[in-house]
Structure 1
Amino acid sequence: MNSNNGNIVCLVMNPFNSFCYTRTIATPGSCMVFNGYFSLRNYYCNDINLRSINDVPELCVETVTPVINIQNNGANDLTSLDIEYSVNGGAVETYTWTGLLTSLQNEDVELPEVSFTIQPTGNTIDVSIPNDDVLTNNDVSTSFDQAVNGSGTVYMELNTDGYGGEVRWNVADENGNVLYNGGPYGNNQTINETFQLNAGCHTFNLIDTYGDGGGAVTLTDSNDVEIFNTNGAYGSGVSQNFGSDGVQVILGVEDVITNQVVMYPNPATSILNIKNAENATIQVFDILGKELMLVPNISAQQEINVSNLQTGTYLVKITSGAVVTTEKFIIAR
């Protein structure tokens, strides 16, 4: 670009014919684009549009990595941009983006992680870029809330619809390690699971492979705090972050698993007793999900011989009609 007698000359790529050509306009600070016959639009020579900032989910950690989108609305190429951002009015961080954006190109930019003090609601990320020829598109902000904090024991009730084979779910820790998972299931079933979680942040992921949701799903902790609830309208899937204080309800003698089913002792040594689950099917799995034992059509007071199991943690799955319950038990000797 150069200036001559008050005119500004801009070299801009022709959007229709893909070649560069020169135009002149008598208005300092802007460049009018022609295709050789008529005006297409006015360009400011330097106009960076801070288009958007990605929505931030509810968080249970006090760090965030904002992602923004910048667009070059000017005629001049953009090769460097100083971006300032802060959370909840805290210290202003500066990140210098470098690259190449020609006129009308845009790019997502992930800003470095920033620490902050989280509030229950109304946490705000503010992002700004330096003043240029247009001042109305140099700032953007977004708000987010703190995730629900629960205990270390969380109960899930999942109801399948007429297409239970489409549903999947998992619970992951803050590093993305999957701690629990399940699905697919049969149609019109009620699935009950218990998650024993250490202190920290976790994510519940609910998936429908067809993309039209399924049945109602709820997560509540041992203090009856609701962590997640959907009536089934979750489309292809939904994720929910939540915190755990690590305080777990440990199953002991005569602890209730379902409304009336009881499993004891826990920890066990050689015999695991299951009461009030007559005609149910019992499956025992190791922590990796390998089935070790299958006992169909159990009695009202069933003894399960676990003497051959090594010391460690196992899962017992109790299936009674459409109701499925999975619980942990421990072998300790």
Structure 2
Amino acid sequence: MKRLLALLPAMLLAAFVSAAPGDTTKVQSFAGLQMNHYGAFDTTVEFPDGSVSYRKILMNFTLGKYQCPGNPQYCGDWDYDVHMFIMTKTGDTLEIGRFITPYANASYARTPWTYKQRYVFDVTDFYNQLKDSATVRIFYSGYSWGFTADVRFDFIEGTPPRNVIDIDRAWATGSRFGDNSPSQYIENKVDTKTFPVPNGTQFSELLFMITGHGNDDNGCSEFCKKFYEVELNGNKFDKTDIWRDDCGFNHIYPQSGTWVYDRGNWCPGDIAFPNRHKLAGLTPGNNFNLDVDFEAYTGSVTLQNRSWGSYNIQSAVIHYGAFNKSLDASLEDIIAPSDHETHFRFNPFTGKPIVKVQNTGSTTITSIKFRYEVNTKGQKEYTWNGSLASLETADIELGLMTDLQSATGNTNTFNVEIVEVNGSADGDATNNKLTSNFKAAINLPVDLWVEMRTNSGIGGVGISQTSWKVVDLTTNNIVAQRNNCAPSTTYRDSFTLNPGMYKLEVEDAGCNGLYWWASPGDGRGELNLYRKVSVIPVPLTGYFNGDFGCGFTQYFNVMWPAAVTEVNTQPEIMVHPNPAAEQLYVSLSGLARANGTIRLVDMMGRVVLQQEVNSSTVVLNTSALSNGAYTVLYTTADGSNAKLQSRVVIAK
């Protein structure tokens, strides 16, 4: 059983001027569609005529937002499933992709009104349906609005790993789970089916998409972990959990809802991954029986605000011919360095680049030689050794890339190429190169310190769920760490690092960070990284005031003090901590000198605190202020600068 997903940087999909393997034909099906009602949005699309062979076909779904007319209570705020279907003239209706919208309130940093999220689906297996004229359907299962859809298909010329001989639709149902009455029993809706095996078939697979929704008294089917088994000609195999256990590591975070909770094979804001089950021992020209059996379960609906849960199922049996290539490694994605939003948790990055590779040939791959560079210089080579069976994928960590230390700003490029597979030339050179754009990791001095105030956790007893460590990326050694901490306790740890490449890795065993609105009983903790000579914390990309789920990682380079430069020279005001309680640190940067006045203004526009300043760092006593939101304003004494302002919340 495999998870099915291929993610590629958008730049890879650019069409070339001359016709050659690797050229890309782009077909737009939806542009700027406002998903403003529950149900189907259909459009007729003219696809290529089928006369050209395509190595890969990608469906790119870009989710955006719009402001709902009339200012309703909810707009882009809820997790709804979105289904993509292809509907042909011959009557085929097949689901080719599914994802769940995020809790995307515009007040959250990652989901403003300008929010865009790219979901990329490998739909190569549906080439026979993506020909000539066909209907593409978006089915939006939402009851509030605020999301937009742009959908484009990219047909990349070349030879696919295998040719699809036929696809048979299997089960397509939304079935209650736990209601075992004859009319609702899931085993009656997902029953045994008989399928023929087409001539020329070498491989067959069941593509099974299932997501759980709704909550009975036991949280089923959204919040309960159940399983199913595939049954081929009476023999059961591939027992599979209907579950995602990594929602607290979601790449779209924080969200304005319960994003950290694990769910029935989906996470808010992410693709719902179908499962693949190999159907072995089939004979072309014969029939076979196929069934899916679910874990026995009897539910109940007696509690308030509970209703029957259900499983949403779409499935198909796919028959393939023989492999078209013997030896072929395909570069599928650059995970780091990258500025693609799907890889937010890995970036900005320094250290050993990470790429995703698939074996698209019939021969097991035991070694791959890579060549890679940053900003078209400093080319390096690295050989990976291991074992990668046909159609398997692997995330491969390349050799240390010291040129990442010298990268600056937000417009860098990383190029990687496969140059050898199993010690010889690769069988298909058209899938051997990728390029990513990326932002440089921050540079810090050698002397640093970390301050962590743990939250109260579960009842304020035992060991804190939160820990941190600093790892030297050259040696993979832990050079500083703090774990096994007491609840509601402040720890300050200073350390001196050698120049090099590092990561600060923060973990939370409870997967609800140091602060999460849905766990008020845990209280509020805080973690900050400081330069030794400063009381203003280093901005941590993935921290979000403690709302980081299962953890986050901050990559950074350490330079000798003379080599550390501040990238931002524009006037800026920063406040810390936020939220604050008894005192507030205010830092001014980008000014020739600090000489002016800082004012705190409440929501009514009243100045509640004022202080003259003549240094870049100021400590304000906020102990007398009431809880609430305030604006921090700085104005220069001579009026030479425009006002600098920031927002802060006082919470005691």
Whether contact under 8 Å (1:150, 1:225) holds in the other structure is no
1:23-42 alignment, distance < 5 Å = 35-37=283-285, 40-42=319-321
Structure 1 residue 95 displacement after superposition: 4.8
Cα distance in structure 1, aligned partners of 2:448 and 2:402: 28
Structure 1 residue 246 displacement after superposition: 6.3
2:90 counterpart residue number = none
Whether contact under 8 Å (1:180, 1:195) holds in the other structure is no
Cα distance in structure 2, aligned partners of 1:134 and 1:199: 41
Asked if residue 89 in structure 1 is aligned to residue 376 in structure 2, the reply is: yes
Cα distance in structure 1, aligned partners of 2:365 and 2:484: 49
Cα distance in structure 2, aligned partners of 1:232 and 1:71: 36
- Which of 46, 51, 55 is residue 332 of structure 2 equivalent to? 51
Query: Which amino acid in 2 is paired with 1:146?
Result: A
Structure 2 residue runs of 5 or longer lacking an equivalent are: 1-199, 205-277, 287-317, 338-345, 420-425, 515-524, 562-581, 583-652
- Which of 485, 509, 514 is residue 184 of structure 1 equivalent to? 485
2:468 counterpart residue number = 169
The TM-score normalised by the length of structure 2 is 0.29
Query: Which amino acid in 1 is paired with 2:414?
Result: I
1:220 counterpart residue number = 530
Query: Which amino acid in 1 is paired with 2:492?
Result: E
1:210 counterpart residue number = 510
1:16 counterpart residue number = 279
Cα deviations by residue, 1:125-150 (Å, 9 ceiling, x for unpaired): 22223675583x33223344433233
Change beyond 3 A, Cα 1:241–1:92? closer
Cα distance in structure 2, aligned partners of 1:239 and 1:225: 16
The root-mean-square deviation of aligned C-alpha atoms, in Å, is 4.1
2:392 counterpart residue number = 105
Change beyond 3 A, Cα 1:106–1:243? closer
1:120 counterpart residue number = 408
Whether contact under 8 Å (2:203, 2:319) holds in the other structure is no
Bigger CA radius of gyration: 1
Structure 1 residue 195 displacement after superposition: 1.4
Cα distance in structure 2, aligned partners of 1:89 and 1:207: 35
Structure 1 residue 231 displacement after superposition: 0.9
Q: Identity percentage over the alignment?
A: 22
- Which of 68, 72, 79 is residue 359 of structure 2 equivalent to? 72
Query: Which amino acid in 2 is paired with 1:50?
Result: L
- Which of 418, 425, 438 is residue 129 of structure 1 equivalent to? 418
The TM-score normalised by the length of structure 1 is 0.51
Cα deviations by residue, 1:167-212 (Å, 9 ceiling, x for unpaired): 222345554243352542223x5x2525142442444332212221
Query: Which amino acid in 2 is paired with 1:37?
Result: G
1:271 counterpart residue number = none
2:548 counterpart residue number = 234
Query: Which amino acid in 2 is paired with 1:210?
Result: G
Structure 1 residue 89 displacement after superposition: 0.8
Query: Which amino acid in 2 is paired with 1:185?
Result: A
Structure 1 residue runs of 5 or longer lacking an equivalent are: 1-9, 20-34, 248-258, 260-333
Change beyond 3 A, Cα 1:166–1:119? same
1:160 counterpart residue number = 454
Whether contact under 8 Å (1:171, 1:181) holds in the other structure is no
1:148 counterpart residue number = 442
Change beyond 3 A, Cα 1:181–1:246? farther
Cα distance in structure 2, aligned partners of 1:145 and 1:58: 8
Structure 1 residue 72 displacement after superposition: 2.6
Query: For this pair of structures, how many residues does the alignment match?
Result: 220
Q: Which has the higher strand share?
A: 1
**SS across alignment from 1:140:** strand
